[in-house]
Amino acid sequence: MTNDGLDSGSDGAAPPVVLKLGGSLITEKDRPETLDDERLAAACDAIADALADGTVDRLVVVHGGGSFGHHHASEHGVSTSAGTRDPAAVADVHGAMTTLNRAVLDRLRDRDVSAVPVHPLSLAARPDGAGGDLDLPLSSTSTLLGEGFVPVLHGDGVATAGAGVTVVSGDELVVELAAGLGARRVGVCSIVPGVLDAGGEVIPAVDSFDAVADALGASDATDVSGGMAAKVRELLALDAPAYVFGADGLGPFLRGEDAGTRVD
Ligand code: IPE
């Protein structure tokens, strides 16, 4: 199913746009618990403008962890595949992420966006264990959307069978939300301007993993390329068109234009 914005979601309402703001965009990744206030403000401006203009009417925002979540997660040895049973570790990771979430919410509400928090730790689970699939109940998010709110989720800790609490990334949440809510369009905004080829140029469109596997493997930025390869694979599996773009692409994406790399 491909949504063009005119057909209805499962509850009869217009399908939402799902947008991830990467932790690299909204925080200073090398300084623990430090916002990139300028970039965060610009992203919130773009979101507020799109909602005020009506170019987007239903929006779910997800943000990553950047220097808030990752710092605490690595300190405690917690990842998407390694869990902890230490409640203080869970409190550290979740606490840092809710602090970041509050900062995002404050800036959105300052701009008259009806943003409300949805905390994955309180909702989600990995019933099949560490590294396993995510179960994310969506009734809270879809009901909030129907009531005119903009739900704002975030990377978080997640209850994990046999492992205590692991990390759920913002990218996993985006995929679950997009598939479960029948998203119209999906946007992943970070500091990378798109999916890059081996020469560092943005690839305008990707329609199969094989076509870009070499380029992604050849990138010298291992962290980004590993993350990007996994991201592209997951986004390709979605029905909705997805876009991977940098800060400059956010306005165009929210206006319904192409931005960065289209993954479809
Ligand atoms: C990480 O989320 C969340 C935690 C470490 C708790 P993401 O993996 O989506 O964060 P970014 O966007 O890469 O920073």
The set of protein residues with a Cβ atom below 6 angstroms from ligand 1 is: 22-24, 64-66, 69-70, 73, 93, 97, 155-156, 167, 169-171
Adjacent-strand bridge partners of 186: 18, 242
In this structure, what DSSP letter does residue 35 have? Answer: B
**Which strand (E) or helix (H) includes residue 164?**
strand 164-168
The structure tokens 């234009």 sit at 257
Kindly report, residue by residue over 101-159, the tens digit of the pLDDT. 999 999 999 999 999 999 999 999 999 999 899 999 999 999 999 999 999 999 999 99
pLDDT for 8: 45
The proportion of the chain whose per-residue pLDDT surpasses 90, expressed as a percent, equals 83
Residue 2 has pLDDT above 60, yes or no: no
CATH superfamily for 17-263 is Acetylglutamate kinase-like (3.40.1160.10)
How confident is the model over 57-92, as pLDDT tens digits? 999 999 999 999 998 999 999 999 999 999 999 999
Q: What is the pLDDT of residue 14?
A: 87
pLDDT tens, residue by residue, 216-262: 764 444 343 357 888 899 999 999 999 999 999 999 999 999 999 99
Give 23 Cα–ligand 1 centroid separation in angstroms. Answer: 6
The ligand 1 atom nearest the CA atom of 78:
5
Q: What is the pTM of this model?
A: 0.93
Contact 195, 242 (CB under 8 A): no
- Helix locations, 118-241, DSSP H: 139-146, 170-181, 209-218, 222-236
**Residue 168 CA, closest ligand 1 atom number:** 3
Ligand 1 nearest atom to the CA of residue 172, by list position: 9
Instruction: Specify the pLDDT at position 215.
Output: 76
